[in-house]
C-alpha cells in the first residue's frame, strides 16, 4: 500500500522502530526507493519506501471514534488512534462494527451507571461514543426487529478484561429485558453470582494473568416474544484438564485447590489437608500464594456463592471432598513391584494418601489401588489382568484425576443451569461468548495448540463476517465490487483438522500405537507437511514444529502432546467410583452402554478430537446467530493504568484479527470519505470547485481528474479510494501547499525588508533631529545659568546687609526692656510687702476679739440649756402619770361598752329566734344566764385591771423621779383628778345598768313583747357605740406611736442635760441675750408638738387620768408656753372641751 504512494521532501511518515513499533518522522531526502527520515526521537534512519506509511497530520489529537474514518487505515494509524484515545480515558473505539476495548486497569464507574444505559437505549449505532452498551443495544434491537438470534463474541488475551466486558454486556441486556424470578433475583444476577464458583474451579494463574479463565464460556440469554428474559444457560467449552496434573513455573493450578488448603482448621482436619506446598499437583511450580489474594477469604466467598446458586451444604461438602481426594491422589507415588512390570505404592506416605483418597471417594482402598496398578484386557471372551509399571500407573493416576475434575466441573455447570432455569420454548436468544484469545509463549504445548485452533476457527468466522459487511457497504453505496477476492485461512484449518492427514488425525494415530513417542509424531509431521507453506520445521530442533497462523508464527514443543491428548476412559475407574457409597461421587460416574457391553476394557479418547467436536458445535451455534465482535486489549503486562506499550498492543491487534480486518478492507476500498470531507480537504488542488457553481459530486470528480487517479469509485454519499490513492492525493496536496508556502514566504520576506528599510530611514532622521535639539538645549542652558548666577549674587548681598541691621536693632531693644522691667519689679515687691504687713496685723486683732466673744457665748448657752432641760423633765414625769391613770379608766369603760353591745346583739338575736322557734325557749334562757355570768366575770376582771393600772402608774411615777420635774399648775392637775372621778362614777353607773339589765332579763321571761321593743332600741345604740369604738381604736394606735416618740425625746433631753452640766459654766442671761432667744425657740417647738393630734392620742394611750390634768396644767402655765399662744390655738381649746365631756 505504501509503495503506491508518493513521498516528497517534507512528507510526514511512519517508520518501523524496534522500541516503540512505529515512530513518526519527516522525510529529508529521497533517493529512488530509499528515504532518509528525521524521526521525532532525534535519530535519522534510512528506510525503503515499501516499509514506510504516510501520516495524517490533520487528525485530531483525541483521535477518532471509528477508525474506518482515518485517512490512512494502516497499523501505525490504528495504533496512534488507540493510544491517543487511551490517554484521554476513552477506552472504547470502533473499527466498523467491531468494538475495541483497551483495559484501563482502574474503575470508571461513570461509564456504567443507569444514566448511561438510558442514554444508549434506542440510540442508533455510532450516534453516541463507542461503548459495550451500544453493541448490546444494537444486538437487542436486531433481535426484536428481525427475529434473528444474536451473538456477541468477546475475545482477547488473558488479562485484557473479557470477563468484565461480558458483565457489562449482560448488565445492559438485563436492563432492556430484565425479569425478576420468584426467588427475588433476576436471571442476569443469578448468572453473575455464578461467576465466583466458575472462577474458583475454572480459573488459574498464568504467566500473563493472575485470574485467567482456562475454559470458554458461552452465556445464552433467552427472550420471549415481548423481549423479556425468560431463561438462561451457561455452556462451557475446552476446559484445560491437563492443568490438574501438570503445571509449569510460575503458573498455578486451579484456585479451588489452594482455597481448600487455606480453609479453616476444622475443614482441613476433615479432609486431612495441610499446606499447599505438600501436594504434588501444586508444588510443581514455585508460585503457591498470589499477591493481593487471600485464599482463606476466597474459600469463604466461594462457599457463600455456592449457597446463592442453590448448592446445598451436603453437596458443598461432597464437592470439596472430591477436590481433596484429587490432591491426595496426586501424592500417591509408585515403585516397581515384586512381579515383572508391576507397581505398588512407593512407601507408607503414598499408602496414607491412597487410603485417604479412598476414604474421601468412599470406595474400597484395595480396589482403588488395583485400578491404578492393573489393567484388565478382554480378548475373545476372556479377561486378562495385566500389571502396569510405575510410569503407566502414574499416567493412570493422572487420568483418574483429570476425569474426576472434568466431571466435577461439568456437574457444577449443570447445577448452575438448573438453578437459573431455561426456557425450552424460547426462539430468540443473545449469546455472549467469553473465550481466551490467541496465545504465543516461549514454550507452547498442546493447550496453546488447541486455543490457537479455536482462534483460527473464530477468525475464519470473523473474516467472513467482515467481508460480508464490506459487501453490504458497497451494495448500499451502489458500487461495483465483483472483482474483489476474499482471502481465507482455510488452508491453515485444513493443516490442523483435516481428516485424514491433519495434525490432529496424525496425533490420534500416534497415540493409539504402542511404544510411540513425541519424536515419532514429529517425524510424521515433517514428512507429511514438508511442502505446506503454512508449516515449517525450526532449525536445530528434533521435535518442534511451527505453524504460520493468521496472527503470526507459533512454534510448538511436542514433548507432552501425546500425554496431554490421551484421555483413557478406564472402566475400572468408572466402575469403582460408580460403586462409591457417596451419592455425589456415584452420580458423577453413571453407567454407560459401552461399559455394559465390554465391562472390562479400556477405551482411548482423544482430547484433541473431542475438543474439535466441541468447537464445531460452538461454531454451529454461532452460525445460527448474527455475530457482533468485541476485541479486548491489554495495554501493558504490569497491569497498571496509564501505561500503553505499543509493541504489546500491536501484537494483540494482530492476534485479535483487527489488523486482519483492516487487511481485508484494504483489498477493496479502505479509504472512504464523504463528498463534503473530500472537497474540504483537497479543494486546494483546484480552488474553483469551492464556488456555488458545482455540487459536491461534480467537485469531487473534478478534483480526482485533476490528479489523474484511476480505480476509484463514486458512491451515493461517499468516494471510495483504493489503497495508496489517499497518500497520492496528500502528496499532491503537499506540493501545492509547499509551493503556496514558498510564495507566501517570498512576499513576507519582501514586506519585512521594505518595512525594515522604512523603519531605518525614519530612525536616522529622528536621530539627527534629536542631536541638533540636544546641542541647542545645551547652549540655552549655559545662558540661563549665567543670568541665574548674577541674580543670586545680588539677592545674597542684599540679604546679608539686612540681616546685620536687624541683629543690631534687636540687641539694643532687648537691653532697654530688661532695665525698665527690673525697676518696675522692685517697686511692685515693696508695695506687696507693705500690704501684707497691714493685713497680718488686722487679722491678729480680729482673732483675739472673736475668741473672747465665742467663749462667753458658749458658756451662756450651756447654762440656759441645762436649766431648761431640768424643768422639762420634771413636767414630763407629771404628764406621764396623769396619762396612765386616764388610760386605765378608758380601757375599763371600753370593755363595759363592748359587753353592752354584745348583750344587745344577743337580745336582738333572741328576739328573732323566739319568733321562729318556740320550742327552744328553755335552751336560750340557759345561754343568756351563762352570758350574764360571763359579763359579771368580765366586770370583775375590769376592776382588777383598773386597780393594777393604778398600781403600775404609781410605780412609773416612782421610777420617773430621777428625771427633773417640771413645774406644773396644781389647778389643772385637780381638774384632771376630777375627770378621773367622773369616769369612775361612769363605771359604777355601768355596773348598775348591768344589774338593771339582769332584772329586765328576768322580767323579759314574763313579758316578751316589751323585751323585743327594748331590743330594737338597744340595736340602734349598739350601732352608734360600734362606730365610736372603731374611732377610739384608731386613736389608741396613734397614741401608742406618739408615746414611743415622747419617750425618745425624754431620753434625748436627759442626755443634753448631762452634756451641758459637764461642759458649760453657770452663767445668768438677760432677756435680750442669746440664751433667752434659744429658750423662746424651744418653747415654740414644744407648744407645736403638744398641740399636734399625735401627742394627744399618745397621751390617751398612756394614761386616761393623766391627760386632762396635765393639759390643764400646760394651758395655765404662762412661764412655759405663754398666754397668747394658748388663747390663739383653736385645736387646743377644742381638745379641752372634748376631754371635759369625757
Residues in the annotated binding site for ATP: 156-163
Among the options 206, 209, 445, 1069, which is catalytic? 209
CB environment 335-349: b (16+ within 10 A), e (fewer): eebeeeebbbbeeee
Distance, first Cα to last Cα, the chain: 157
Sort strands 150-155 and 343-345 into parallel, antiparallel or unpaired. unpaired
Residues 454/458/461/462 CA torsion (nearest 10 deg): -160
Annotated binding-site ranges: 156-163
Alpha-helix residue ranges (DSSP H) falling in 275-377: 295-308, 313-330, 348-361, 365-373
Annotated catalytic residue within 68, 81, 97, 213:
213
What's CA 1085's distance to the chain center, in Å? 93
The reply to whether 439 belongs to the active site is yes
Matching residue, cell 479432609: 271
Contact status, residue 372 vs residue 392, Cβ threshold 8 Å = no
Closest CA to 136 of 88, 87, 188, 179: 188
Spatial distance between the Cα atoms of 206 and 204, rounded to a whole number of angstroms: 6
Whether 1092 is catalytic is no
Q: What is the DSSP string of 956-992?
A: HHHHGGGSPP----HHHHHHHHHHHHHHHHHHHHHHH
Q: Is 1064 helix (H, G, I), strand (E, B) or coil?
A: coil
- For 532-557, letters b (16+ CB in 10 Å) and e give eebbbbeeeeebbbbbbbbbeebbbb
From the candidates 93, 155, 158, 489, give the one annotated as an active-site residue: 158
SS3 category, 629: strand
Cis peptide before 250 (omega within 30 of 0): yes
Considering 77, 216, 437, 887, which one is annotated as catalytic? Answer: 437
Rg (CA), the chain: 70
Give catalytic status of residue 587 as yes or no.
no
The pair phi, psi for residue 934, each rounded to 5°, is -65, -40
Cα(670)–Cα(219) distance, integer angstroms: 35
d(CA 195, CA 171): 14
Instruction: Single out the catalytic residue among 203, 212, 230, 1069.
Output: 212
Q: Residue 565 has which C-alpha cell? A: 491428548
Set 240, 439, 875, 1042: catalytic member:
439
Cβ neighbours of 1137 (radius 10 Å) = 9
Quote the cell numbers at residue 1099.
Answer: 397621751
- Whether 555 is catalytic: no
Which DSSP string corresponds to 483-519? TPPPP--HHHHHHHH-TTTSHHHHHHHHHHSTT--HH
Q: Is there a catalytic annotation at residue 158?
A: yes
Residue 159 annotated in active site: yes
Q: How many CB atoms lie within 10 A of CB 432?
A: 25
Q: Which residues pair with residue 429 across a beta bridge?
A: 222
Q: Residue 618: how many CA atoms within 13 Å on its side-chain side? A: 27
Residue 437 known to be catalytic: yes
Classified as helix, coil or strand, 26 is: strand
8 A C-beta contact, residue 37 and residue 47: yes
Q: Is 209 a catalytic residue?
A: yes
DSSP string computed for 670-701: -EEEEHHHHHHHHGGGSGGGGSTTS-HHHHHH
Ramachandran region, residue 287 (left: φ > 0; alpha: ψ -120 to 50; beta: rest): beta
- Among 5, 25, 77, 159, which one carries the catalytic annotation? 159
Question: What is the longest distance spanned by two Cα atoms in the chain?
Answer: 187
Listed residue (185, 188, 182, 175) closest to 222, CA to CA: 188
Q: Which residue has the cell 389608741?
A: 1036
Tell me if 186 sits within 8 A of 179, measured CB to CB: yes
Q: At what angle do helices 1130-1141 and 1074-1091 cross, to 10 degrees?
A: 50
Which residue has 505438600 as its cell numbers? Answer: 278
Q: Which residues are part of the catalytic machinery?
A: 158-159, 163, 209, 212-213, 437, 439
Amino acid at each position: 500500500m505504501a509503495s503506491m504512494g508518493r513521498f516528497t521532501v517534507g512528507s510526514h511518515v511512519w517508520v518501523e522502530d524496534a522500541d516503540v513499533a512505529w515512530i513518526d518522522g519527516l522525510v529529508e531526502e529521497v533517493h529512488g526507493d530509499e528515504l532518509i527520515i528525521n524521526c521525532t526521537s532525534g535519530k535519522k534512519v534510512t528506510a525503503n519506501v515499501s516499509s514506510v506509511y504516510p501520516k495524517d497530520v490533520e487528525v485530531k489529537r483525541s483521535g477518532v471514534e471509528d477508525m474506518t474514518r482515518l485517512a490512512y487505515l494502516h497499523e501505525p494509524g490504528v495504533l496512534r488512534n488507540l493510544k491517543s484515545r487511551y490517554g484521554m480515558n476513552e477506552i472504547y473505539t470502533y473499527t466498523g462494527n467491531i468494538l475495541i476495548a483497551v483495559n484501563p486497569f482502574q474503575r470508571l464507574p461513570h461509564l456504567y451507571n443507569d444514566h448511561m444505559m438510558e442514554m444508549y437505549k434506542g440510540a442508533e449505532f455510532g450516534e453516541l461514543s463507542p461503548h459495550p452498551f451500544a453493541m448490546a443495544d444494537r444486538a437487542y434491537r436486531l433481535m426484536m426487529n428481525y427475529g434473528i438470534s444474536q451473538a456477541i463474541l468477546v475475545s482477547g488475551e488473558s488479562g485484557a478484561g473479557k470477563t468484565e466486558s461480558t458483565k457489562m454486556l449482560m448488565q445492559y441486556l438485563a436492563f432492556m429485558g430484565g425479569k425478576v424470578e420468584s426467588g427475588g433475583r433476576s436471571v442476569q444476577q443469578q448468572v453473575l453470582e455464578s461467576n465466583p464458583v466458575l472462577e474458583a474451579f475454572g480459573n488459574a494463574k498464568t504467566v500473563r494473568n493472575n485470574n485467567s479463565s482456562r475454559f470458554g464460556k458461552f452465556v445464552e440469554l433467552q427472550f420471549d416474544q415481548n423481549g423479556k428474559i425468560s431463561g438462561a444457560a451457561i455452556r462451557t467449552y475446552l476446559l484445560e484438564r491437563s492443568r490438574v496434573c501438570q503445571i509449569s513455573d510460575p503458573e498455578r493450578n486451579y484456585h479451588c485447590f489452594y482455597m481448600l488448603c487455606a480453609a479453616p482448621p476444622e475443614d482441613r482436619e476433615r479432609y486431612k489437608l495441610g499446606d499447599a506446598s505438600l501436594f504434588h499437583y501444586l508444588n510443581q511450580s514455585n508460585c503457591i500464594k498470589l499477591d493481593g489474594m487471600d485464599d482463606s477469604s476466597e474459600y469463604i466467598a466461594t462457599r457463600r456463592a455456592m449457597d446463592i446458586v442453590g448448592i446445598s451444604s451436603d453437596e458443598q461438602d461432597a464437592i470439596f471432598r472430591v477436590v481433596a481426594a484429587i490432591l491426595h491422589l496426586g501424592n500417591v507415588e509408585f515403585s516397581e513391584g515384586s512381579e515383572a512390570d508391576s507397581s505398588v505404592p512407593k512407601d507408607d506416605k503414598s499408602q496414607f494418601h491412597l487410603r485417604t483418597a479412598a476414604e474421601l471417594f468412599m470406595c474400597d482402598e484395595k480396589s482403588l489401588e488395583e485400578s491404578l496398578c492393573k489393567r484388565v484386557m478382554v480378548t475373545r471372551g476372556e479377561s486378562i489382568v495385566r500389571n502396569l509399571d510405575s510410569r503407566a500407573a502414574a499416567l493412570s493416576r493422572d487420568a483418574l484425576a483429570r476425569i474426576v475434575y472434568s466431571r466435577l466441573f461439568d456437574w457444577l455447570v449443570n447445577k448452575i443451569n438448573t438453578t437459573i432455569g431455561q426456557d425450552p420454548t424460547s426462539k430468540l436468544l443473545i449469546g455472549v461468548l467469553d473465550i481466551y484469545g490467541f496465545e504465543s509463549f516461549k514454550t507452547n504445548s498442546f493447550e496453546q495448540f488447541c486455543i490457537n485452533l479455536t482462534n483460527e476457527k473464530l477468525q475464519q468466522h470473523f473474516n467472513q463476517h467482515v467481508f460480508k459487511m464490506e459487501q453490504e457497504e458497497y451494495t448500499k453505496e451502489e458500487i461495483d465490487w465483483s472483482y474483489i477476492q476474499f482471502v481465507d485461512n482455510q488452508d491453515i484449518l485444513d493443516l490442523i483438522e483435516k481428516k485424514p492427514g491433519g495434525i490432529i488425525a496424525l496425533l490420534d494415530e500416534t497415540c493409539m500405537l504402542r511404544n510411540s513417542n513425541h519424536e515419532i509424531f514429529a517425524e510424521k509431521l515433517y514428512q507429511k507437511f514438508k511442502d505446506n507453506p503454512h508449516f515449517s520445521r525450526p532449525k536445530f530442533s528434533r521435535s518442534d514444529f511451527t505453524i504460520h497462523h493468521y496472527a503470526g508464527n507459533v512454534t510448538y514443543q511436542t514433548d507432552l502432546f501425546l500425554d496431554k491428548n490421551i484421555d483413557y476412559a478406564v472402566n475400572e475407574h468408572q466402575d469403582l467410583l460408580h460403586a462409591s457409597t457417596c451419592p455425589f461421587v456415584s452420580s458423577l460416574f453413571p453407567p454407560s452402554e459401552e461399559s455394559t457391553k465390554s465391562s472390562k476394557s479400556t477405551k482411548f479418547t482423544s482430547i484433541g478430537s473431542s475438543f474439535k467436536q466441541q468447537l464445531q458445535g460452538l461454531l454451529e451455534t454461532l452460525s445460527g446467530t448474527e455475530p457482533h465482535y468485541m476485541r479486548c486489549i491489554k495495554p501493558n503486562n504490569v497491569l497498571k493504568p496509564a501505561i500503553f506499550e505499543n509493541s504489546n498492543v500491536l501484537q494483540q491487534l494482530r492476534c485479535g484479527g483487527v489488523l486482519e480486518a483492516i487487511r481485508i478492507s484494504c483489498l477493496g476500498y479502505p479509504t472512504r470519505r464523504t463528498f463534503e470531507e473530500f472537497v474540504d480537504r483537497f479543494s486546494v488542488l483546484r480552488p474553483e470547485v469551492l464556488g456555488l457553481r458545482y455540487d459536491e459530486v461534480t467537485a469531487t470528480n473534478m478534483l480526482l481528474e485533476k490528479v489523474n487517479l484511476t480505480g476509484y469509485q463514486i458512491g451515493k454519499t461517499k468516494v471510495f479510494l483504493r489503497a495508496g490513492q489517499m497518500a497520492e492525493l496528500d502528496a499532491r496536496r503537499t506540493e501545492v501547499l509547499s509551493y503556496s508556502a514558498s510564495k507566501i514566504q517570498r512576499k513576507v520576506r519582501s514586506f519585512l525588508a521594505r518595512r525594515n528599510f522604512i523603519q531605518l530611514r525614519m530612525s536616522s532622521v529622528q536621530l539627527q533631529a534629536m542631536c541638533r535639539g540636544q546641542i541647542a538645549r545645551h547652549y540655552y542652558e549655559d545662558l540661563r545659568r549665567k543670568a541665574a548666577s548674577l541674580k543670586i549674587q545680588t539677592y545674597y548681598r542684599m540679604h546679608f546687609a539686612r540681616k546685620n541691621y536687624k541683629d543690631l536693632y534687636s540687641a539694643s531693644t532687648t537691653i532697654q526692656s530688661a532695665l525698665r522691667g527690673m525697676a518696675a519689679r522692685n517697686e511692685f515687691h515693696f508695695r506687696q510687702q507693705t500690704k501684707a504687713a497691714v493685713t497680718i496685723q488686722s487679722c491678729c486683732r480680729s482673732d483675739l476679739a472673736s475668741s473672747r466673744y465665742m467663749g462667753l457665748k458658749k458658756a451662756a448657752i450651756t447654762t440656759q440649756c441645762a436649766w431648761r432641760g431640768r424643768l422639762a423633765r420634771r413636767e414630763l414625769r407629771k404628764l406621764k402619770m396623769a396619762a396612765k391613770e386616764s388610760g386605765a379608766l378608758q380601757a375599763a369603760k371600753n370593755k363595759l361598752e363592748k359587753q353592752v353591745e354584745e348583750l344587745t346583739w344577743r337580745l336582738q338575736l333572741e328576739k328573732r329566734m323566739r319568733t321562729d322557734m318556740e320550742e327552744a325557749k328553755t335552751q336560750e334562757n340557759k345561754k343568756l344566764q351563762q352570758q350574764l355570768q360571763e359579763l359579771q366575770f368580765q366586770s370583775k376582771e375590769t376592776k382588777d385591771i383598773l386597780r393594777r393600772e393604778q398600781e403600775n402608774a404609781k410605780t412609773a411615777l416612782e421610777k420617773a423621779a430621777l428625771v427633773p420635774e417640771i413645774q406644773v399648775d396644781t389647778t389643772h392637775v385637780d381638774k384632771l383628778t376630777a375627770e378621773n372621778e367622773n369616769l369612775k362614777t361612769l363605771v359604777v353607773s355601768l355596773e348598775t345598768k348591768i344589774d338593771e339589765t339582769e332584772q329586765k332579763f328576768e322580767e323579759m321571761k314574763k313579758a316578751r313583747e316589751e323585751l323585743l321593743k327594748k331590743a330594737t332600741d338597744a340595736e340602734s345604740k349598739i350601732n352608734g357605740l360600734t362606730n365610736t369604738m372603731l374611732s377610739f381604736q384608731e386613736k389608741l394606735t396613734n397614741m401608742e406611736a406618739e408615746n414611743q416618740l415622747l419617750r425618745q425625746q425624754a431620753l434625748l433631753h436627759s442626755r443634753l442635760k448631762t452634756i451641758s452640766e459637764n461642759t458649760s459654766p453657770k452663767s445668768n442671761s438677760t432677756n435680750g441675750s442669746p440664751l433667752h432667744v434659744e429658750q423662746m425657740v424651744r418653747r415654740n417647738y414644744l407648744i407645736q408638738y403638744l398641740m399636734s393630734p399625735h401627742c394627744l392620742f399618745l397621751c390617751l394611750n398612756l394614761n386616761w387620768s393623766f391627760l386632762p390634768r396635765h393639759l390643764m396644767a400646760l394651758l395655765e402655765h404662762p412661764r412655759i408656753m405663754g398666754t397668747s399662744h394658748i388663747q390663739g390655738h383653736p385645736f387646743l381649746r377644742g381638745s379641752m372641751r372634748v376631754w371635759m365631756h369625757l
